[in-house]
Amino acid sequence: MPPAEGVGADSPFTRRAPHPLEKRSARLARGGGSGRVTHASASDAQEEDPVTTLTQELAGWASGLRLDDVPDDVVATARLQILSQLAAVRAGMDHPLGRRFTEAFGAPLQEDPARSAYVLAGLGSWLHFDDTAYAGHLSNSTVTVPLAYARRQRLTGEQLLTSIVAANETAARITASCTLGPFRGQSAAFTHVTGAIAGRLRGEDAPARRWVDTLGLGLGLPPRTVPVGFLDGDAKLFGASTPVRIGLDACDASAAGLAGSPVIVEHPEGFLSRFATVPLPEAVVAGLGTRWHTRTTSFKVHPGGPGMDSAIDVGLALHRELSAPGRPLRAADIAEVGVDTSLYTAVVERRAARYLRGSVSPVSALVFSLRYTLATALLTGRLGTDDFTGKGLADDERWSLAERIEVSLDEAMTRELFRCEVPFGEALRQAGPRGTEWLRQFGAAWRGDGDWLVDLVGELPPPSRDFSDARKVTGARVRVVLVDGRTVTRELDVPMGAVGARDRPRIADVVRAKWLAAGGGEEFADGVDRLEHASSDEVAQLVGRCLD
């Protein structure tokens, strides 16, 4: 989510907390004695410095990852990411602004893999139809870059999936280390700098020392999201594509011998000092090979977000329930609509509303509007690409209903949001007492001094051992009062497609349905199901027809 969603450049969230690794980092940076680091290259640092830095440890693990090391359920999730992300790309291509993007930068599949990755990343992120995880909207880089380079690198299906998992784990860990900071979700552009680097280098089978140099280069000048640009124009199209380009440029630079700092993450003047309010350096390397962040992936089944998926799911169900044969639910049938939801969703809605201008609202803000998306779901029984084009925006009926939707904060849902793993809870668990002030300031952005939120969340459970029970609880309760006097209330805690959902269709079936609804074919989906056994020629053929 952008810093506009509760935090900004002038917010107390940007104040830096004490860094737990400053002493070690300062010793490494100063040089001298056994801690001397010459910054000629990462390989030199490894030879001369007995202390392993965070990027050295992470790179050593990720560069050697093999698919045999990865649990079956994690591999299955990586396969689903391919279908889901390409469905998001298809949706982006169908939008008028997506078509303008391809006019400017070319088709999603091009001879130049870097250019292809750039376009794929932009199209897949545009409508907030992309997947989420702890931590980050990973697939915009961790899937698109391996796909774009698969033919150039002659990847087998096994190697392609390995690249995706390695990129997921690397990008998620860097993002997790600064989740308690001003940039999260799609506004955390550095996620895609990291994802692009890992996704490409794993496919090249690059040595660990090159990973360290490349991460040092890419994270040395990562982009920072400007809220008004993100929400009040079309710059959101560049939110993933620009950092992907930076990551790929860093790969080219390291291949030519340019070096990056091996202490880029934890140094007192390093990445975390600029992008984290409460740095979590331990998140970068915690449980390598056991804590699979890929397991936390949630799949979007309709555009819009973050945090509003449960309300939209309920709205779609209420449309079916309240419509009569031959007569769909109309705004004139509804006296009022109330939505109770978490602090996260309420803050997003409030900030996005500042940028809405009815039929000429910027799409970048519209996808964050709970009122508009819920009104659309209630009245039409669907939410798709067309609802974010001129045709949907010109519908006065849905705007009139949107104006009557009242969004209220529900404290029980807020408590569950911060106590589950995704999107914030795991970071707060790892932070322990360090996270209290961040939580207080988050609460103060809504009301009072924020102590109410600290008290509400209470003592958190310990960090997850392996994410096998991870949940994304972004609940909503929708109450529709009809003009005939009836009141209908429905509630959902975990949205369709999200990790931790119970008694729902299998996520694999949900993702396949998303792919097919976006115009994808059964044959391609079947090929992805068998991807581990595909040769490099078969992968090249599969990638070549992914957007047919």
d(CA 139, CA 132) in angstroms, rounded, equals: 8
Contact of 108 with 89, CB cutoff 8 Å: yes
Dihedral over Cα of 414, 420, 423, 428: its sign: positive
pLDDT single digits (tens) 243-281: 999 999 999 999 999 999 999 999 999 999 999 999 999
CATH number of this structure's domain 37-296: 1.10.4100.10
Bridge partners, 337 (sequence order): 405, 480
- The values of phi and psi at residue 477, to 5°, are -125, 120
- What pTM value is reported for the model? 0.91
Picking from 476, 189, 194, 168, the residue whose alpha carbon sits closest to that of residue 308 is 476
Look up the CATH architecture of domain 303-495: 2-Layer Sandwich (3.30)
Backbone angles phi, psi at 451, to 5 degrees: -60, -25
The residue type found at 525 is A
3-state helix, strand, coil in the chain (%, to 5): 55, 5, 40
Domain boundaries, the chain: 37-296, 303-495
Does residue 62 contact residue 98 with C-beta atoms inside 8 Å? no
| pLDDT of the residue at 4 | 37
Q: Please give the Cα distance from 537 to 546 (Å, whole number).
A: 14
Q: What is the pLDDT of residue 307?
A: 86
Per residue in 338-359, pLDDT tens? 999 999 999 999 999 999 999 9
| CA 509 vs CA 113, 371, 496: distances in Å | 30, 29, 11
Neighbours of 467 (CB within 10 A): 24
What span, in angstroms and rounded, lies between the C-alpha atoms of 190 and 432? 24
- 110 contacts 116 by C-beta, under 8 angstroms: yes
The answer to whether the bond into 196 is cis (omega within 30° of 0) is no
All residue ranges of the chain with pLDDT < 50 are 1-48
